[in-house]
Amino acid sequence: MNRTESHSLATAVLMFNWIEYSVFCSMLLLSLLIGIYFGYFKKQDTVAEYLLGGKKMSVFPVSMSLIFSHVSGISLIGIPSEVYQFGTQYAAVFVSIVVLYLMSVNFFLPVFFHLQLNSLYEYFELRFSKATRTLASLIFAFSLMTFIPVVIYVPALAFNQVTGVSVHVITPIVSLVCVFYTSFGGLKAVVWTDTFQSIFTLGSTIFVLILGFMKAGGVSEVFRINEKGSRLELFNLDPNPFERTTFWSVTIGLSFAWLSYVALNPGSSQRFIAVATFKEAKAVILCACIGYIVVKALTILVGLLLYASYYDCDPVAVKIVEKSGQILPHYVLHVSRDYPGLTGLFISGVLSAALSTMSACLNTVAGTLYEDFVQFILRGKKQTDAMQAFTLKIIVLVIGISCIGLVF
């Protein structure tokens, strides 16, 4: 890559035209309309309706929500960056996802579906004590409140990379839309916006791969370059725990991580009991695990594509971008210059993944705080169903606005 081309690619950062903005704004507007629909036309007037969708939701939207609430914008940008820098050892995550499915359907799902707990941490009280439940709920709420700002901040960096718009401008705009539809629409709005936003997330990734492979000379050429650069690695069986990534560290470490993310996560537990039968709940976790594998495979392929494109000219090394997390947005700008709207679709996809995660976290932490703290504080006081639902909406608003403030 010569100096002139480097300069042209650097200045392309600000070439986010009205078509790109139209695609991005359409995603936000339609997400908002889904929240309005479920908030005002499909009233969420009870706790069961607000937190669990009335326990009669269908498998497909619940599965899509479970997939994309755990596939954040951090994953869509971070995994390609990981593969670009260090190779494909991360692909051992597929083994971890199989372990997740087997453990979930055989051990955890039967217990939690039978108990039908609004808050997963009720199990701690049944098994141990009220104090244990309270402590676990506090730790969970605190961890989510520190996680949500990161979830939205990283994709905002990608938006900044292609538009020049400040992170502190786009973050509150996007986050407030998410807080609004999550607060007023409840779980149904969260699930259906996740399903809608998955179109942007998957569509953008697939389009980038198709165009990228065409530009790079085909799939075989991409793999040839990665093999030559020693990026194709899966069975590094080195038992040394100080090695950065090995087959053992990825499979064992991520197996426990995925169990905590999905099988033992309050948000996932909500979705498992949002369907009517145990058979449907098993179908949800099966579809979710297949979805995780598909999304991880796509992001790993994107990482291989990045290496094949920049193996002889690292954008970070030549100061075209400042951080490795900005390589993918930079690449999308480069590969989509002749396809108006594709950059907007990509950024919409990354931010859609972030919104899916953020909305799921807000809905979950609101349910946890309500069931484990508000109910305890208001014990003995009779609340109408409408008042309970209103309280949940206020909790979402307060937590959401607090998380936006933590970005600054």
| Residues 83, 142: Cα–Cα separation, whole Å | 31
Where is pLDDT greater, at 58 or 14?
58
| 376 burial type by CB count under 10 A (0-12 exposed, 13-18 middle, 19+ buried) | exposed
DSSP class of 12: G
- Residue partners of 160: CB distance under 8 A and separation at least 6: 166, 167, 170
Where is pLDDT greater, at 15 or 73?
73
Q: Which of 152, 181, 146 is nearest to 168 (CA)?
A: 152
Residue 385 has pLDDT above 70, yes or no: yes
pLDDT digits (tens, 9 = 90+) for 63-104: 999 998 888 777 888 899 999 999 999 999 999 999 999 999
**Does residue 76 contact residue 205 with C-beta atoms inside 8 Å?**
yes
At residue 375 the predicted structure's pLDDT band, cuts being 50, 70 and 90, is confident
DSSP class of 273: T
- What mean pLDDT, rounded, does the chain reach? 87
Domains and CATH numbers, the chain: 19-47+60-407 (1.20.1730.10)
Q: Which residue has the tokens 């990608």?
A: 158
Label residues 150-182 b or e (16+ Cβ within 10 Å = b): ebbbbbbbbbbbbbeeebeebbbebbebbbbbb
Percent over 70 (pLDDT), the chain: 95
| Residues 298, 324: Cα–Cα separation, whole Å | 19
Residue 251 has pLDDT above 50, yes or no: yes
Residue 382 has pLDDT above 80, yes or no: no
pLDDT digits (tens, 9 = 90+) for 322-335: 777 778 888 888 88
* pLDDT value at residue 8: 42
